Structure 1
């Protein structure tokens, strides 16, 4: 094939790709697919000297059934908090790895999946994908160390309140690195 014919084919494919991104029904699946490539990588563990410490556990939430949850009850436990939304492609891309981690570590560590969206929207999202996760909504202000302006943001907090992993963006939460880190934190 000639170089100009290859260029034409490339240009047509690029134009089709851009067009698909402009169509609302195809935009999110394409974005999720692209984000899954980024979600192949494990999040980095913070160096001990760089770990921020949670200074307060004053935070109230409710689950999707309206049951109150006082974050103070998580003090002294290993906690994984994921801030996410159903409309967020990176959140959707990393969710399967978080579900696998949750399924293996529920009861061992405290999981909080936090979203500000309407409860019905969240419930429909979880049902459609077959996810059984403890989703909560904030009732009071988020502690400053956990406050976020970008999602997804996921934090792994040790028993002493140290933020061991603080990752914004899609990641592989079911990785050996994360599992080994959790296992070490559970032994402390």
Structure 2
């Protein structure tokens, strides 16, 4: 009996040490993000299609990684994948590889706007470089219109050419799916037909 209690105590100490090393080593966001990637890979978490008509707003400014200020109004008349994220957010980290794969496939048809909400912008720059993500990353340079509710992140919007929000998703989701790509194709075909 004493040996069993001692063994359990050692197991708990080892577990707590591992958790402590992960947390204090700064790897907890990455580890939790990896676990959440496994959940995303199942495809059970998909983005929410907006039922009612909701008009997007283009009235704000962003800045790219090179320091160029961009008026978001330049995105009008395009299909826009707008994502709000941060390096400290495990669900954001979890969905980014999937978004990157989608970007590589659809970058000629869709404007990807990945807005980092990190206070430490240099940390976001280093993270993007470390992961070799190619999608465009921006920082906010003005207040955000109220139509974009970013009280939780990640938050993603898909805006059509007419400026209507077609997808609004709060929380992580798997976007690189056949149904989401079909939606992007429909919106792109609509653009080409005009």
1:94 aligns to 2:95 (yes or no): yes
Report deviation, 1:14.
Answer: 7.8
> Partners of 2:16 and 2:167 in 1: how far apart?
35
**2:158 aligned residue:** 156
3-state SS in 1 of match to 2:35: helix
Gaps of 5+ in 2: none
> Partners of 2:156 and 2:10 in 1: how far apart?
39
Structure ranking higher on relative contact order (CA contacts 8 Å, 6+ apart): 1
**1:174 aligned residue:** 176
TM-score, length-scaled by structure 1: 0.83
3-state SS in 2 of match to 1:28: helix
Gaps of 5+ in 1: none
Report deviation, 1:65.
Answer: 1.0
Alignment of 1:1-188 (within 5 A): 20-23=18-21, 24=23, 25=25, 26-40=27-41, 41=43, 42-47=45-50, 49-54=51-56, 56-117=57-118, 118-188=120-190
Report deviation, 1:22.
Answer: 4.3
Asked if the contact 1:38–1:171 (Cα under 8 Å) also holds between the matched residues in 2, the reply is no
Q: 1:15 to 1:29 in 2, by over 3 A?
A: farther
> Partners of 1:150 and 1:71 in 2: how far apart?
21
> Partners of 1:136 and 1:44 in 2: how far apart?
22
Deviations along 1:13-55, whole A, 9 cap, x unmatched?
Answer: 78865654444135333311221133233523425x424221x
TM-score, length-scaled by structure 2: 0.81
Q: What is the aligned residue count?
A: 179
3-state SS in 2 of match to 1:137: strand
Asked if the contact 2:54–2:165 (Cα under 8 Å) also holds between the matched residues in 1, the reply is yes
CA RMSD of aligned residues (A): 2.3
Asked if the contact 1:43–1:165 (Cα under 8 Å) also holds between the matched residues in 2, the reply is no
> Partners of 1:92 and 1:46 in 2: how far apart?
22
> Partners of 1:33 and 1:12 in 2: how far apart?
27
